[in-house]
């Protein structure tokens, strides 16, 4: 028996400001830091010893993991993977969601946010929010950096990394991944065999560990959020 724990980063500055964040590197709010610490306390209360830690390249996920590890008093070195980054929102990056609803209509914005294969227009490479202009991504091959992504695109890059670097470690290790709403949706789609409509509707709360238990042949046995008061929107049930 082993565990995979998925944690969406705590509330970020742009979460609070209702902006499309994507690959932009924004930090946690004070509330987000509290959410991250609470995640650590919840995991600690279950006495699950984490063997391997992963996070995306992004500050909000890395700092969430840092705070969790402080609570767990872990000195294990974390592994960072850009493939676990949030979905790239193209030209929507940095724009306010409420303002875009007024401009484009609520249904159109919902389609951009949650449809399976709809991509927003690509972000211009001269835009300061483009990943090629952000120091964090300087070591990533330029041809692998997206200008925009759909949820489908995000699923494909996350899943490729998961199958290559994580899946084969689950049988003998407890693993924690600190990532983002859409990269965690991608993992949930694969692990829980969700269809495209289900994954598009899936809500991932910030700072609430989703614990997935595997049996001896690496099949999902059961799963639950540790903070049950904030898991009401989960669409798959045991």
Q: Report yes or no: 198 and 235 within 8 Å, Cβ to Cβ.
A: yes
pLDDT for position 33: 98
Is 86 labeled as catalytic in the residue annotation? yes
Mean per-residue pLDDT over the chain, rounded? 93
Are 191 and 185 a contacting pair, CB within 8 Å? no
Q: Which of 35, 86, 88, 130 is catalytic?
A: 86
Domain boundaries, the chain: 2-88+150-230
- Given this model, what pLDDT does residue 217 score? 75
Q: Could you list the mean pLDDT of each consecutive 10-residue stretch along the chain, which spans 238 residues? A: 96 95 96 97 96 97 98 96 97 92 82 86 96 93 95 97 96 96 96 92 93 87 89 53
Residue 185 exposure: Cα atoms within 13 Å on the Cβ side: 30
CA atoms of 32 and 9, how far apart (whole Å): 8
9, 88, 130, 180: which one is catalytic?
Answer: 9
The SS3 of residue 113 is helix
The alpha carbon of residue 31 and the mean position of all alpha carbons in its chain are separated, in whole angstroms, by 18
3-state secondary structure of 143: helix
pTM of the model: 0.94
Torsion of CA 126, 106, 184, 118, to 10 degrees: -60
9 labelled catalytic: yes
Sequence-distant (6+) residues with CB within 8 A of 234 are 202, 203, 225
Output the six-digit token pair for 34: 């509290």
Strand partners, 178: 7, 55
Q: What is the pLDDT of residue 235?
A: 52
User: CB 161: neighbour CB atoms within 10 A?
Assistant: 18
* Architecture of domain 2-88+150-230 in this structure: 3-Layer(aba) Sandwich (3.40)
| Both tokens assigned to 231 | 């898991």
Element (H, E) at 31: helix 30-45
Question: For 170, which DSSP code?
Answer: G
């Amino acid at each position: 028996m082993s565990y995979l724990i998925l944690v969406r980063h705590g509330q970020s500055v742009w979460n609070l400001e209702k902006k499309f964040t994507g690959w932009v590197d924004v930090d946690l709010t004070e509330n987000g830091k509290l959410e991250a610490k609470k995640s650590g306390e919840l995991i600690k209360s279950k006495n699950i010893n984490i063997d391997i830690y992963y996070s995306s390249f992004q500050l909000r996920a890395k700092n969430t993991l840092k705070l969790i590890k402080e609570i767990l008093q872990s000195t294990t070195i974390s592994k960072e993977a850009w493939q676990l980054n949030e979905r790239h929102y193209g030209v929507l990056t940095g724009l306010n969601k409420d303002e875009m609803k007024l401009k484009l209509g609520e249904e159109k914005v919902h389609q951009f946010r949650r449809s399976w294969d709809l991509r927003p227009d690509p972000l211009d490479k001269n835009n300061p929010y483009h990943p090629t202009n952000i120091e964090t991504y300087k070591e990533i091959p330029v041809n692998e950096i997206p200008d925009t992504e759909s949820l489908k695109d995000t699923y494909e890059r996350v899943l490729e990394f998961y199958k290559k670097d994580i899946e084969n470690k689950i049988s003998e290790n407890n693993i924690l991944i600190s990532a983002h709403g859409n990269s965690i949706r991608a993992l949930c789609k694969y692990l829980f065999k969700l269809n495209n409509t289900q994954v598009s509707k899936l809500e991932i709360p910030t700072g609430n560990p989703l614990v997935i238990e595997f049996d001896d042949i690496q099949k999902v046995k059961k799963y639950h959020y540790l903070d049950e008061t904030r898991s009401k929107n989960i669409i798959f049930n045991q």
